[in-house]
Chain A
């Protein structure tokens, strides 16, 4: 249990948030209503997904001020706690892809890292931009047409229907297809949050003196390109693609990784 502190905390937050959304519909609770597109916190504070908001704005529709204010609040929040903290602490698909990733390790499907020529981790930024262009062309928020994130969330709150197939497809793709395929390569929402969180204040910090080079952190990290400093230099993980999930902190037996405030003044 010692090395599962952040994992358990994260699952509690994810399930807790989903339960609050579920209860808003099932029991009429006014704590967290709506879905990720737009939510109401405590019945008053609007929250909105920045990428969805940009897609709708790209269609030329002038959104209500609640959505714009909500998108601003969410952007400011993740600007502080790390953009992709959404991905690992809130997004329900994270549980699906983490399960696929865990099974991959258990089934030894992982021995070789495959380097796909056109499915690099940068593909998601292309998809993010294409999504905005398609929204403008077709006149409908394009990613929301098939986004497994909101399909899964709405599935839990309102019922899945055939939407379950999309979630299952993501699971199979991540398990038998590309390692970290959805969250690490394709998801445009994750790409948007990477950009929002690229300057975020809460970061994982590495202590190069304490590191014994066991590489456990790189095995569990879903974005292990961000851990390039392991046993090389004592700096923070500053890459926006880091999801602040804390798995590396959990598995590190040398206390060489911990959450800290980004050091803005000096570079060690």
Chain B
């Protein structure tokens, strides 16, 4: 009896340590997942860590090194010990190998568990469409982007597989010289897939354009603000609930504070 109680107690202790460890290793928000991946939290639950996506990525027909005739390193890596990610889950690092946006998306249909959600990548014709993927969002750090300095560079714009759609160039007058133009790369949030080709193409020492996971890169206006001139945006707040708050009025006389000694 006493042994059973001790066993249960030790199992509880072990379970708590185990839970704590498991919970901490899954907290890795700065990671880019394959196309069609569920939201990070659900993805970590669903991924069975089989590596079929990474194998399909490496061994796709288009990944042949023309000189050697062998498969190159694939985009998708499997998280190893020491990568500070949930071990065995697929991810990619754009500066090493970006996602080349294969039209047939070899990595997604092979997923057996449903962690890579094929329906999310189907277009109106029910065909796989890589342009529907939302792996992340490219962000420009304009202080280190040389196009913002006035130097002509459109490396990211040209590298983008959705040319002139996901990254557009905005022309601005260069007041410093008075006779030149800025060609500023602007990322279009609704079109950018997060493939990372721009980040890999960026010419600066450390890329001035880089892909962040959507959750990290995007803000959220919330229900307090709405574009009054946009009927679609009004649908967005359709389910917003009114929040009634009351502020307790101060009982003190409004003039009192003038006579107070630094009592805010």
Contact = CB atoms under 8 A, between A and B. Distances in A.
Interface stretch (A6-14, A30-38, A94-102, A234-242): A30-38
Contacts, number: 153
A154 B78 contact: yes
Interface of A: 24-25, 27-28, 33-35, 37-40, 46, 48, 52-53, 56, 59-64, 66-67, 70, 118, 126-127, 129-131, 133-134, 137-142, 144-146, 150-151, 154-155, 157-166
Interface in B1-54: 6-7, 10-11, 14-15, 18-19, 21-23, 25-26, 41-42, 44-46, 48-52, 54
B88 A150 contact: yes
Contacts of B11: 126, 129-130
B22 A151 contact: no
24 contacts: A28-B55, A35-B51, A37-B49, A38-B112, A39-B50, A52-B48, A60-B45, A64-B114, A67-B113, A118-B10, A130-B14, A134-B15, A138-B19, A139-B41, A140-B45, A141-B49, A144-B88, A150-B49, A155-B80, A157-B51, A160-B80, A161-B81, A161-B82, A165-B81
Contacts of B15: 130, 133-134
A40 B114 CA distance: 15
B112 A48 contact: yes
Nearest to A157: B51
A145 B86 contact: yes
A138 B19 CA distance: 6
A27 B52 CA distance: 14
B48 A33 contact: no
A138 B81 contact: no
Contacts of A64: 111-114
B45 A61 contact: yes
Contact of A56 (B41, B58, B113): B113
Interface in B70-86: 71, 77-78, 80-83, 86
Nearest to B59: A28
B112 A70 contact: yes
Given A144-B88, A161-B82, A61 B42 contact: yes
Contacts of A129: 11
Interface residues of B, number: 42
Contacts of A144: 48-49, 87-88
B18 A134 contact: yes
B48 A67 contact: yes
B87 A145 contact: yes
A40 to B, nearest CB: 7
B78 A140 contact: no
Contacts of A66: 112-113
Contacts of A118: 6-7, 10
A74 B260 CA distance: 80
A140 B22 contact: yes
Report, nearest first, the 8 A-B pairs whose CB atoms are least far apart.
Answer: A161-B80, A162-B82, A163-B81, A28-B59, A162-B81, A66-B112, A38-B50, A34-B50
Given A63-B46, A66-B113, A138-B26, 15 more contacts: A28-B58, A35-B49, A37-B49, A40-B52, A56-B45, A56-B113, A59-B45, A134-B22, A141-B45, A154-B80, A158-B54, A158-B80, A161-B80, A161-B81, A166-B81
Contact of B44 (A34, A139, A161): A139
A56 B115 CA distance: 11
Contacts of A59: 45
A144 B50 CA distance: 11
Given A59-B45, A63-B114, A127-B14, A35 B50 contact: yes
Given A67-B113, A127-B14, A151 B54 contact: no
Contacts of B48: 37-38, 48, 52-53, 56, 63, 67, 141, 144
Nearest to B12: A130
Contacts of B77: 158
Given A126-B11, A140-B86, A161-B80, A37 B50 contact: yes
B81 A33 contact: no
A28 B45 CA distance: 28
Contacts of A39: 50
Contacts of A40: 52, 110, 112
Nearest to B20: A138
Contacts of B18: 130-131, 134, 142
Contacts of A138: 19, 22-23, 26
